[in-house]
Amino acid sequence: MKKVFSRLCLAFAFLFLYAPIGVLIAYSFNASKSRTVWTGFTLDWYYKLFHNETIMRSLLNTLFVALVASVIATVLGTAAAMGIYNLKKRTRALVMNITYMPIMNPEIVTGVSLMLLFAFVGLDPGYTTLILAHVCFCVPYVILNVLPKLRQMDMSLCEAAMDLGCSGRQVYGKVIIPEIMPGILTGFLMSVTYSIDDFVISYFTYGPRSQTLSITIYSMTRRKVSPEINALSAIIFLVILSVLLIMNFSDIRSHRREVRKKRRYDA
């Protein structure tokens, strides 16, 4: 009885999470613009999507900003995590509390603050302000993903590398970075996800030519959201699902290889 109840709860949770996405994907194939009446199957919205200059430009802007900001945030966040790890306990706790602030702070406060800061220093709204704003809220996520990997790392590996003649730079490049690479990749992927998803901070820092996809969709809601957005959302969802499946299968394969190596070693 408990198993049946737990499975029902799990099914209800998944239904609650993915039913809206299922409806969105279904209506991306609807022949009419109606959001309530099904009039027939069509692929016209997917065809029109790739010929809609406004949407495609916004998508390219979003991907460009997300990738550039995530790379910068990953480099800065990784360096910051290494610095925080080497601090004393009390100082580390203080710095970590400061690190949490951009995450806990309401986005509208962060957006308005950054807008005022950029105006104060004389930066015109555009790609530069948008990328800097995204770096600002992505860095803490990288730090929070890299720090646990640094704590898990066996520091005797660094000492062994230095005993074998490695310089400080070689220790970082050949020992520390490979050991914390899973945390770096996770922080990068989280940064890309949050950057693509962001609306509030982008709304206060974007320029006329750096309009992101979320802002374009928001401007459409004042009239009526085109089914082309449904098609684009369906494509994004399938791409993300494919990436997650590939990563999971890759982890499963690597785990099986480790198990096989361990069995051979034990034998």
User: Would you say 47 and 55 are in contact if contact means Cβ atoms under 8 Å apart?
Assistant: no
Phi (first) and psi of residue 107, to 5 degrees:
-60, -35
pTM: 0.83
Identify the structural domains of the chain with CATH numbers, from first to last.
Answer: 53-225 (1.10.3720.10)
pLDDT of residue 266: 67
pLDDT tens, per residue, the chain with 267 residues: 677 888 888 888 888 888 888 888 888 888 887 777 788 888 888 888 888 888 889 999 999 999 999 999 999 999 999 888 888 888 888 888 888 888 888 889 999 999 999 999 988 888 999 999 999 999 999 999 999 888 888 777 777 777 677 776 777 777 788 888 888 988 998 899 899 989 999 999 988 888 888 888 888 877 777 788 888 888 888 888 888 888 788 878 877 887 777 777 666
Alpha-carbon dihedral of residues 30, 233, 36, 40, nearest 10 degrees?
10
pLDDT of residue 252: 82
